[in-house]
């Protein structure tokens, strides 16, 4: 299970995808809300499972990633821990925030302005109507070979995760809102009664 979590940046100017755009996002975006669709593609380019849902963000370190289709799954970062709840299994996995994030997509969206130090960066050629920025984790244990951010004229439109086996997870974002007022309790989680809890509370 990956923490495939969304980052978003609105810009009124069509420009090349650069690290400056990520820096602006980290500096100026304190909360965010967006819808997402995620598709897994194997190393041969064959599409596989597709999921969709909603993502909420509050800096630093708080997020709520809700998968609604085709199954229900919830990831909540409360600022100290990450809770991963599988409703079908009635199972909760809990990890300390730093251990769960590391140099992952979640670090790009919920960390502070020093997040770029965990990656090396390079611009990629434009493709699919987007300008792309690649982030390679410095930590070999991150679980990802590369993270790619795809920018449209309006801002960030896609996030692509490439694992060590060449499998890709492509996340597309729609209806992005920057700095909305989010509902109280969005980033708290209590394990349901009877759930199997694995990890350190």
User: Per the structure block, which two tokens stand in for 54?
Assistant: 């909603």
Phi-psi label, residue 194: left if phi above 0, alpha if psi -120 to 50, beta otherwise: left
| CB 180 within 8 Å of CB 194 | no
pLDDT digit string (tens) for 31-56? 989 999 999 888 888 888 899 999 89
Q: Which residue ranges make up each domain of the chain?
A: 19-199
pLDDT digit string (tens) for 88-126? 899 999 988 766 555 556 656 676 556 677 788 888 888
pLDDT digit string (tens) for 153-178? 766 788 898 888 888 888 998 888 88
Q: pLDDT over 70 for what percent of the chain?
A: 81
| CB 171 within 8 Å of CB 160 | yes
For all residues of the chain together, what is the average pLDDT?
80
In CATH, which superfamily holds the domain spanning 19-199? Lipoprotein localisation LolA/LolB/LppX (2.50.20.10)
CA distance 74 to 68: 9
pTM of the full predicted structure?
0.77
CA distance 31 to 181: 8
Q: At 12, is the pLDDT very low, low, confident or very high (cuts 50, 70, 90)?
A: very low
Peptide bond into 70 cis (omega under 30): yes
């Amino acid at each position: 299970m990956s923490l495939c979590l969304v980052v978003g940046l609105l810009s009124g100017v069509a420009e090349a995808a650069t690290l400056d755009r990520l820096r602006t996002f980290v500096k100026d975006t304190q909360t965010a809300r967006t819808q997402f669709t995620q598709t897994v593609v194997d190393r041969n380019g064959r599409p596989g499972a597709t999921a969709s849902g909603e993502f909420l963000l509050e800096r630093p370190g708080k997020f709520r990633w809700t998968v609604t289709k085709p199954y229900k799954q919830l990831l909540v970062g409360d600022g100290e821990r990450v809770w991963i709840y599988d409703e079908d299994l009635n199972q909760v996995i809990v990890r300390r925030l730093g251990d769960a994030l590391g140099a992952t997509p979640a670090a790009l969206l919920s960390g502070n302005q020093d997040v770029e130090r965990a990656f090396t960066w390079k611009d990629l050629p434009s493709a699919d109507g987007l300008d792309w920025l690649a982030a390679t984790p410095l930590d070999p244990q991150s679980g990802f070979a590369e993270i790619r951010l795809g920018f449209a004229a309006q801002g960030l439109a896609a996030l692509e995760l490439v694992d060590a086996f060449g499998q890709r997870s492509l996340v597309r974002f729609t209806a992005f809102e920057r700095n909305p007022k989010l509902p109280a309790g969005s980033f708290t989680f209590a394990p349901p009664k009877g759930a199997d809890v694995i990890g350190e509370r």
